[in-house]
Amino acid sequence: MGIAIVDSASAQSGFAAGAAARGEFHCGGCGYGISVRRQLPTCPMCRGTDWYPTPGRPLVLDLDRANLEA
């Protein structure tokens, strides 16, 4: 399994709901903030599926399953 610790400042693109990740994220639709340990959910506030890392927080990504969009 490929694991990477990434500085959130270097992660410019968002992540889709369902991506395997660990860290703090905010919803691209409404800004709702979450802390996840396994998989990004659908936003409980607006049902959005786009998540962006919280600036200044490291991320842990499962590179084998993470859905990274360029």
| Average pLDDT of span 7-36 | 81
Share of residues in the chain with pLDDT > 90 (%): 34
Give the global pTM.
Answer: 0.68
Cα gap 15→19, rounded to integer Å:
7
Tens-digit pLDDT profile for residues 16-26: 899 888 889 99
> Is 70 exceeded by the pLDDT of residue 65?
no
Of residues 63, 69, 60, the one with CA closest to residue 23: 60
pLDDT of residue 67 exceeding 50: no
**Is residue 68 a contact partner of residue 13, using CB atoms and an 8 Å limit?**
yes
